[in-house]
Amino acid sequence: MTSTALRSRAWKLLEMVTTPLLPSDYLDLVSPLRAGADLRGRIEAVHPETGDAATIVIRPGRGWRGHTAGQYMRIGVDVNGVRLWRAYSITSPTNRQDGRVTITVKAIPDGKVSNHLVRRAKPGTLIQLDQPTGDFVLPQAKPAKVLYLTAGSGITPVMGMLRDIEFDDVVMVHCAPQPQDVIFRNELHDLVADKKLRLTEVHTDTDGMLDIARLDGLVPDWAERETWACGPAGLLDAAEEHWTEFGVQERLHTERFRPSIVVAGDGGEVTFSATGKTVDADGATPLLDVGEEAGVLMPSGCRMGICFGCVTPLKSGAVRDLRTGEITEAEPGVLIQTCVSAAAGPCDIER
Amino acid sequence: MTAIDPTAHLTAEQIEQLGRELDAIRDEVIADRGEKDAAYIRKVISAQRKLELVSRGVLLFSIFPPAWLLGTAGLSVAKIMDNMEIGHNILHGQWDWMRDPKIHSTTWEWDHVSPSEQWKHSHNELHHTYTNVIGKDNDLGYGIMRVDEDQRWHPFHLGQPLWNFLNACFFEYGIAAYDLELGKNLHKRRRKNPEFRARAKAVGRKIRKQVLKDYVIHPLLSGPSFLPTLAATFTANLVRNIWTHSVIMCGHFPEGVQVFERRSIRGETRGQWYLRQMMGSANISGSKAMHFMTGNLSHQIEHHLFPDLPSNRYAEVAVKVRALFEKYELEYVTGPLPKQVFSAWRKVFRLSLPNNKPKVKTPDREQELVAA
Ligand code: FES
């Protein structure tokens, strides 16, 4: 017998010993970060960055596969006893020696998870993790000139890039309300002092929102640069339009953090057929929230339409995509993202 | 059924008011539910697992009598914790709000021969909806006993003290058979029903796993302590069965608890549903340890009013619920475990014989509604 076959036999036996639980249920008691466990991490430190942002240092479990600069990871945090999942960009470089990773979180008004992480998270806390993903990353071949166009917490994936790889010619345009709101400001200024970065800060409280047409003045050669942009939808929409207009859209890479939600009417009776629950839903509440409120165990991740951690079969009826207004109708094999879909009439979700 | 309807003095309006007051109690707990509650159930689960591990570890040496005693006691308690405070309550969805897939009613499996899925149907759906309605709620006597004067007597009932005793000893198997509706489904035609067969198979699989674990694998692992370990697990299962059976008997069988006629629940309002739960359940009084070991089913009345509130909250809810009982002049049936067990058993014996008491009707809600 091969050693893998032997090991799987031994594991089967172990499962018989622990039934109806699994061996891992017991192992988790002593070693939640071991190889083979569900991926978790332990918060080891929380460093304030600005008045409302902090960097969370996480030791990931042994199963962590590592990330590429610019990627994000989903974390599941228990806030007031309820497990909530969110996605955050990774801000640590890929070659960090101690095996830890960091995310940098900005507390958004009414943000349950962000406020918890910035103000209440304690070192030692276990959190759930997913492997890093996302294609907002740098290419294999080094571009000659780079532009980072960021706003607010949109700087976080870019910081991961900046810390990871040095380019010869890098310009950054970053928008924040005031100087003290600029996350990583000291580090950025150090890079500037070392001539590793040219930085333009746009302070929107005094300068107003960045008008994309001003880019010509700020970065005259923007069109020649490989550009990574991350920030609110308005900025990214404008950038996409601008780059397209000048026919250089393939040089622009964007990452959207939150969907712009359109309020649509309708709604209807939603049945969660696997659980046998039926509830009324309006046309603006994501089905993910509707299900969770009704006590259905809904898979979820970023809750903003990017991770597909929430896809669930739509068995009947129709749903509206809250970002685009697009209607999806049930058909065999149709999966919907419950976090960005609302009921457009009665529907049946297989959960 | 008692001679006088103990709720006769309440007007329809009062019953609805009572319902609103109970809703308010529920809302309060839900609004306040959070980190502390989550920490509680996690702590209980982790303690249960550690206790089971240690006890099974000790039983490896159960050839030595003190080890046998200690291990058996520990394992009995661990099994009771698993079934009562943890399993029963998680399967009620009391902890679903945590959104932890490992502590969720849709994923939890317990140390019991009835698969969670089947038990949830017969218990959560049928028993909790039709509490104490004759002919609808099979928990009333589990289909093998007569527990109310209004149920028709049959010579079979003469043996019910014995049936009840056997049921207590092999309670988990009784429950599995009950969840399968074995009595009804063993008829020739039903036996072939594919849905029934699938469920029976699931039970078979669960029984095999449980038996293999308790009576083969663990004794084998104990080597020279094979037989003592076997005896120990058997004893632990027996203790757990008798204990849970006793606790559960106290929930709806003691004297003073009402049962209802099928037609009395037609057109039932929320207030009336609450009232039925109040009158159809009984509590066990006692220490914190007692409440814990019963999985807080000692707060059966509160549990039936709010089956999905976290069990650790029933004690505080009970104070408010009891005040409502007083306000509305209703009898809150409660007592220490021995008294309640005795009361339930006395009923089992009494009703094993036919009665010739006159029948008294429960109020017919439908008629009342029409009148109101
Ligand atoms: S939760 Fe990430 S796509 Fe829905």
User: At residue A157, what is the residue type?
Assistant: P
Across the range B320-334, mean pLDDT stands at 97
Would you call A20 and B99 a contact, using CB atoms and an 8 Å cutoff?
Answer: no
CB contact under 8 A, A21 and B34: no
Helix (H, G, I), strand (E, B) or coil at A49: strand
Q: Residue B356's pLDDT is what?
A: 64
User: Of ligand 1's atoms, which has the minimum distance to the CA of residue A338?
Assistant: 4
pLDDT the model gives residue B210: 97
Binding site membership of A301 for ligand 1 (Cβ less than 6 Å)? yes
CA of B95 to the centre of ligand 1 (A): 23
Q: What percentage of residues in chain B have a pLDDT greater than 70?
A: 94
With beta carbons under 8 A apart, name residues in chain B contacting A29. 46, 49-50
Our answer on whether the CB atom of A307 is closer than 6 Å to any ligand 1 atom is: yes
Predicted confidence band of residue B359 (pLDDT cuts 50, 70, 90): low
Q: Which atom of ligand 1 is nearest to the CA of A305?
A: 3
Instruction: Enumerate residues 6+ apart whose C-beta is below 8 A from A196.
Output: A166, A170
Give mean pLDDT, residues B175-180: 92
B296 with B277: CB under 8 angstroms?
A: no
pLDDT averaged per 10 residues, chain A (length 351): 86 93 94 95 98 97 96 94 91 95 94 94 96 93 95 96 95 97 97 97 95 95 97 93 96 78 68 91 93 88 74 91 83 85 92 91
Angle at A64 between CA A60 and CA A67, to 5 degrees: 100
Cα–Cα dist B256/B2, whole Å: 8
CA atoms within 13 A on the CB side of B95: 29
Q: Name the residue among B34, B97, B111 with its Cβ closest to that of A295.
A: B97
Ligand 1 pocket test target in A255, A304, A323, A336 with most atoms within 8 Å of CB: A304
Predicted pLDDT at A46? 98
Q: Which of these, B20, B9, B15, B14, lies nearest to B276 by C-alpha position?
A: B15
Average pLDDT over residues B190-207: 92
User: Between chains, do A83 and B109 touch, taking CB under 8 Å as contact?
Assistant: no
Eight-class DSSP state of B312: G
Q: Are A261 and A322 in contact (CB under 8 A)?
A: yes
Answer whether B38 sits within 8 Å of A81, measured CB to CB. yes
Q: Chain A residue with minimal CA distance to B103? A: A297
Residue count of chain B: 372
Contact residues on chain B for A16, CB-CB shorter than 8 A: 209, 212-213, 217
Region B194-199 average pLDDT: 92
- Rounded to a whole number, what is the distance in Å from the CA of A26 to chain B's nearest CA? 7
How confident is the model at residue A305, as a pLDDT?
A: 76
User: Does B262 or B365 have the greater pLDDT score?
Assistant: B262
* CA of B77 vs chain A CAs: smallest distance (Å): 17
pTM above 0.90, yes or no: no
Structure token pair of residue B258: 């009402």
| Confidence tier at B98 by pLDDT (50, 70, 90) | very high
User: Chain A: residue nearest B102 by CA?
Assistant: A25
Provide the residue count of chain A: 351
Q: What is the mean pLDDT of chain B?
A: 91
Matching residue, tokens 């009970």 = B318
Q: Which residue has the tokens 């509590």?
A: B283
Q: Could you give the ipTM of this predicted complex?
A: 0.89
B155 touches chain A (CB under 8 A): no
Give B46-49 contacts, CB < 8 A, sequence gap 24+: B46/A29, B47/B81, B48/B78, B48/B81, B48/B82, B48/B86, B49/A21, B49/A25, B49/A26, B49/A29
User: Is residue B371 over pLDDT 70?
Assistant: no
Structure tokens at B271: 């207030």
What atom of ligand 1 comes closest to residue A308's alpha carbon? 3
Give the pLDDT score at A264: 46
Contact B110 A20 (CB under 8 A): yes
Q: Is the CB of A347 under 6 A from ligand 1?
A: no
Q: To 10 degrees, the CA torsion angle through A205, A207, A209, A211?
A: 180
Cβ atoms B82, B48 nearer than 8 A: yes
Q: Are B328 and B14 in contact (CB under 8 A)?
A: yes
Nearest to B279 by CA among B156, B133, B164: B133
Ligand 1: does its nearest atom lie under 6 Å from the Cβ of A300? yes
pLDDT at B324 over 80: yes
A108: distance to nearest CA of chain B, Å?
Answer: 22
Question: Peptide bond preceding A143: is omega within 30 degrees of 0, i.e. cis?
Answer: no
Measure the CA–CA gap between A145 and A168, rounded to whole angstroms: 7
Residues 6+ apart with CB under 8 A from B125: none
pLDDT at A262: 39
User: What's residue A221's pLDDT?
Assistant: 96
Residue A29 Cα, gap to closest chain B Cα (Å): 7
Q: Does any ligand 1 atom lie closer than 6 A to the CB of residue A302?
A: yes
Residue A300 alpha carbon, nearest atom of ligand 1:
1
User: Residue B217: closest CA among chain A residues belongs to which residue?
Assistant: A17
Supply the pLDDT for residue B39. Answer: 98
B327: pLDDT strictly greater than 50: yes
